[in-house]
Amino acid sequence: SSLQHTFQENRPNSASFFEQAKHSMTGGVNGNLRYFAPFPIIFEKAKNATLIDVDGHPYVDYLLSYGALMLGHAHPDILKAVERVWSEQGTSSFGATHPLELEMAEELITLFPSFDQIRFTNSGLEATLFSLRLAMAATGRTHVAKFEGHYHGAHDHVLQSVNPEAHAAGASEEPMAVPDSLGSPDYYRQHSVILPFNDWNACERILTDRAQEIAAVIMEPMLSGYIAADPQFMKNLRELTTQLGIILIFDEVKTGFRIEVGGAQTYYGVEPDLTALGKVVGGGFPIGIVGGKQSVMELASPLRSNKKTEVVFHSGTFNGNPLSIAAGLATIRYLKQPGRFDQIVQHTHELRSGIDALAKQYELPLQTIGIGTIFNVLTTEKTVQHYRDLGANHNQLRLALDYLLMENGVYSKPLNRFSLSAAHGPDEIKATLDAFEKSMAALKK
């Protein structure tokens, strides 16, 4: 709390802005996860890897709009692409099919091994929602199996056991569905099957027992973007869901273009039936994608039938918005140039090994964990592989580190993971490691 006091003293403009914002925007934020105590920093400007707040403090940004900004803020390739669309096409997808959509569709089908076809949405939320509707239509079943601790966006069927309080959530090998929101109809809890991530014996038993009601297994190939699925677990899950006639959905909203350009399915060599993408694929603009096997995707085709009851409904005023697609394509083309993606991975490794070395030097129970261009800093020396292993974290230590990092010009939002971008070069990494060193030295005092 003395750290929060310093935080507050150094940010009078953020403090008074937030006071005012609380009156006209609920809780002063547009998304509950954006709040932290005593008040979230109010940012005004950004360029490359740097955020500037309303008190004029610069920060190296590792939140990166929750991972969406793979090229950093205001990358020239993206500005150019958006400017071209802006001046030639305006901001409209015309409420009709347009050429940029096809360009992006073909690009994604080449990159993602499991894609025969795609559809655009405007957010990751819409992508997971639409993929689940497809799965229910394909199977005629009513339940969704999801993993404890996995986030798939702000809709009822997946707002179950995202962050359950341990005491309310059942045994670790048989987790209970716990709604994450007030106002979520009990129907969704009753039609949820909660699986323990990376525990194959338990998953095999639960899925086999309840196969007749389970339409889909939806998963984040990396829990929260940083706890990797065991490769054999992924293979087993693919085999068993095929055998049981369950649709396997990879939610690659975080992992797409971040653990590998072609996502976790490329990294693991395991093909889901359906995939949800978001974040990076829109180059910083709102987007979502559902991609997958033709046999499932075609259930949404208006060419199938003119009877509503024979087609899966999908629509959205802004679907295929050209600014998102142009920014996304510019991002993908950047990442596909030889060495570019690998360089971001390399910088991530340098930063992580620097942090791990400092933790040793200062004898603090910290470790980095992740794959590719995302990682987190855990405050436990235990091996973390399951959702409930996260209970070993010393959250107070991590919070103290986060507040010190903010004072030293590094931002990822308290308790959040870290994402890197093409704008995080050697200078940013050095500045970040200096900030970690100062923060760890302060923690030791």
Positions in the binding site for ligand PLP (CB under 6 A): 66, 123-125, 128, 151-153, 220, 251, 253-254, 278
Between 124 and 292, CB nearer to ligand PLP:
124
Cis peptide bond upstream of 38, omega within 30: yes
Instruction: Tell the smallest beta-carbon distance from residue 186 to ligand PLP (Å).
Output: 23
Between 15 and 270, CB nearer to ligand PLP:
270
Separation of CA 18 from chain center? 26
Catalytic residue among 254, 279, 293, 413: 279
Between 50 and 121, CB nearer to ligand PLP:
121
Here the tokens at position 70 are 């793979």
Catalytic residue among 156, 199, 251, 389: 251
Between 151 and 403, CB nearer to ligand PLP:
151
Angle subtended at Cα 199 by Cα 198 and Cα 204, rounded to the nearest 5 degrees: 115
Q: How many helices (H) and strands (E) does the chain have?
A: 15, 18
* Shortest-Cβ-distance residue relative to ligand PLP: 124
What is the number of other CB atoms lying within 10 angstroms of the CB of residue 172?
15
Catalytic residue among 59, 66, 151, 268: 151
Instruction: Tell the smallest beta-carbon distance from residue 253 to ligand PLP (Å).
Output: 3
Instruction: Tell the smallest beta-carbon distance from residue 153 to ligand PLP (Å).
Output: 3
Q: Would residue 35 show up in a list of annotated catalytic residues for this protein?
A: no
Q: Would residue 251 show up in a list of annotated catalytic residues for this protein?
A: yes
Residues 6+ apart with CB under 8 A from 362: 440, 441, 443, 444
Between 160 and 439, CB nearer to ligand PLP:
160
Are 259 and 374 spatial neighbours (Cβ–Cβ below 8 Å)?
Answer: yes
Instruction: Tell the smallest beta-carbon distance from residue 170 to ligand PLP (Å).
Output: 23
**Side-chain half-sphere exposure of 217, counting CA atoms within 13 A:** 31
Instruction: Tell the smallest beta-carbon distance from residue 217 to ligand PLP (Å).
Output: 14
Instruction: Tell the smallest beta-carbon distance from residue 319 to ligand PLP (Å).
Output: 14
Residues 6+ apart with CB under 8 A from 2: none
* Whole-number Å distance between alpha carbons of 403 and 260: 31
CA distances in angstroms from 11 to 4, 5, 361, 407, listed in the order given: 11, 10, 31, 10
Separation of CA 127 from chain center? 13
What is the number of other CB atoms lying within 10 angstroms of the CB of residue 229?
24
Between 46 and 64, CB nearer to ligand PLP:
64
Q: Which residues participate in catalysis according to the annotation?
A: 151, 251, 279
